[in-house]
């Protein structure tokens, strides 16, 4: 069965960096675009970034552009989110999510999610 397991979260001081990881199993990882989505405490879902199946295309939310970098290692079935210059407003539960595919085409929805991991930015 499909599983997405995130790691790398924790408490970090403002201005510092973290690398979040999401390791996938149960499907052909190298064929699927992967996303990061976050949810600040008591707030709604916010889409963060996407990386296409082969890593050739990456897109970001305006709120993180220039500070966050998404990448993947298909040999390790893992997608990463490098988060730099962290701000208190980046405090959130970070989820990785798989983009759904039907008839061989990516269809713009998130069909499997990781359990989420909390990143707290505080001095």
Partner 1 sequence: QSALTQPASVSGSPGQSITISCTGTRSDVGGYNYVSWYQNHPGKAPKLMICEVSNRPSGVSNRFSGSKSGNTASLTISGLQAEDEADYYCSSYTSSSTWVFGGGTKLTVL
The residues binding partner 1 (CB under 8 A) are: 35, 37, 44-47, 50, 57, 59-63, 95, 100, 102, 107-111, 113-116
- Residue closer to partner 1, measured from CB, 55 or 100: 100
Least gap, CB of 110 to partner 1 (angstroms): 6
In order of 14, 42, 116, the CA distances from 80 in angstroms are: 20, 25, 14
Least gap, CB of 97 to partner 1 (angstroms): 8
DSSP 45: E
Alpha-carbon radius of gyration of the chain: 14
User: What whole-number distance in Å separates Cα of residue 122 and Cα of residue 78?
Assistant: 27
User: What whole-number distance in Å separates Cα of residue 5 and Cα of residue 11?
Assistant: 19
Least gap, CB of 67 to partner 1 (angstroms): 15
- Residue closer to partner 1, measured from CB, 84 or 112: 112
- Residue closer to partner 1, measured from CB, 16 or 65: 65
Least gap, CB of 71 to partner 1 (angstroms): 17
User: What whole-number distance in Å separates Cα of residue 55 and Cα of residue 65?
Assistant: 17
Nearest 5°: CA angle at 99, between 65 and 18?
40
- Residue closer to partner 1, measured from CB, 3 or 17: 3
């Amino acid at each position: 069965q499909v599983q997405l397991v995130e790691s790398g979260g924790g408490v970090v001081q403002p201005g510092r960096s973290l690398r979040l990881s999401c390791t996938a199993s149960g499907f052909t990882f190298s064929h699927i675009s992967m996303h990061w989505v976050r949810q600040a405490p008591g707030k709604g879902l916010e889409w963060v970034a996407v990386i296409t199946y082969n890593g050739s295309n990456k897109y970001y939310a305006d709120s993180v552009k220039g500070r966050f970098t998404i990448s993947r290692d298909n040999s390790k079935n893992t997608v990463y989110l490098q988060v730099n210059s962290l701000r208190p407003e980046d405090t959130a539960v970070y989820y990785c999510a798989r983009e759904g595919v039907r008839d061989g085409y990516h269809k713009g929805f998130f069909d499997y999610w990781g359990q989420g991991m909390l990143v707290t930015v505080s001095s």
